[in-house]
Structure 1
Amino acid sequence: MGNEIRKYLCLCLLLFLAACQSVQVSDSSHIKEEEVVTALQENGVKLAEAEFPNNVFGQKLGNVKPKTYELSGKPFFIFEFKTEIERENGEKEFDEKTATMDLVSSSTFIKRNILIFYVHEQDFNSGNVPFEKEIQEALDGISEG
């Protein structure tokens, strides 16, 4: 009888720890816009707060208005969604809204709940988009939680 109780308690403890683990992982998987800015700054990407009120890349997606910056004179938008699913829905909404537009060259970066548009206006065929590598490295360096 003692072994059965011990097994039952071990099972309960294991389930409790598993539940705590999943809650902890989901909480730490959310990235804040400030974390992204810090990671970018540490990787040599110097952003300055700016306003681009009529830029299509800065439109509200879902219920999220992006934080707007300037990177070497070019618009840089960071969207912080609550979840990855909301971010995916925001991407779809952007694609639908801009499907018939002839947009300037830009790069899109994604990390979990974060969506970034960098409107660099460079020719993609040049293969030399300023800061693209540094931005991606900064996002890759953000901890997975």
Structure 2
Amino acid sequence: MRRMVIIILAICFIITGCMNKGKTITLTQIKDSFEKNGVSMSEVPDLHPESVFSKAYNDVTPRRFVIDENQKISIYVYTSSKEVRKGIKDFENKTAAADLTPHTIYQIANVLIFYVTDESFKDVRVDLAIEELLSLTK
């Protein structure tokens, strides 16, 4: 009986240790990563308020930034990666019939980023900043 209790406790410890509680990223970490990779972002809260990239999804309103006149970024910081998935689903449901501006969607832990730019203006430094943020979650 005692041996069985020890085995059950050991299994509980193993399961608890293997559970991924999920790392989170802050807006400050995001800004720092972009800055470190040479991407200067200026926050513009009222940038195109009717744009689908300015709307709240899953009850989170984005912080809007411009890199230059051809590149805009919307950053949604959720409480968890599960909430991000709900935000993406909400975005998809609300924009299913829309003709959207070219954009790239990034999900990093608890963060959803819309990088709004035409392919010809895409900045590789943004990808480097995203890769750095992804490395923070490993």
Q: Normalising to structure 1: TM-score of the pair?
A: 0.74
Secondary structure of the residue aligned to 1:116 is: strand
1:132 deviation in Å? 4.0
- The code of the aligned residue for 1:133 comes to D
Aligned residues: 134
Is residue 139 of structure 1 aligned with residue 136 of structure 2? no
Q: Distance in 2 between matches of 1:100 and 1:17?
A: 47
Q: Distance in 1 between matches of 2:7 and 2:95?
A: 55
Q: Specify which of 21, 36, 53 is matched with residue 30 of structure 2.
A: 36
Conserved 8 A contact 1:45-1:134? no
Q: Distance in 1 between matches of 2:92 and 2:133?
A: 22
1:88 aligns with: 85
Q: Percent identity?
A: 23
Structure 1 runs of 4+ with >3 Å offset: 7-19
Is residue 67 of structure 1 aligned with residue 63 of structure 2? yes
In structure 1, runs of 5+ residues without a counterpart are: none
Is residue 79 of structure 1 aligned with residue 72 of structure 2? no
Q: Distance in 1 between matches of 2:82 and 2:92?
A: 15
Conserved 8 A contact 2:44-2:64? yes
1:135 deviation in Å? 3.4
1:62 deviation in Å? 1.1
1:134 deviation in Å? 2.4
Q: Cα RMSD between the aligned structures?
A: 2.6
1:138 deviation in Å? 2.7
Q: Normalising to structure 2: TM-score of the pair?
A: 0.77
**Higher gyration radius (CA):** 1
- The code of the aligned residue for 1:114 comes to V
1:14 deviation in Å? 8.2
1:129 aligns with: 122
Listed one character per residue, the Cα deviations across residues 64-121 of structure 1 (whole Å, up to 9, x for unaligned) are 111111112332111111111111111011011111111111111111111000111x
1:98 aligns with: 95
In structure 2, runs of 5+ residues without a counterpart are: none
Conserved 8 A contact 2:75-2:114? yes
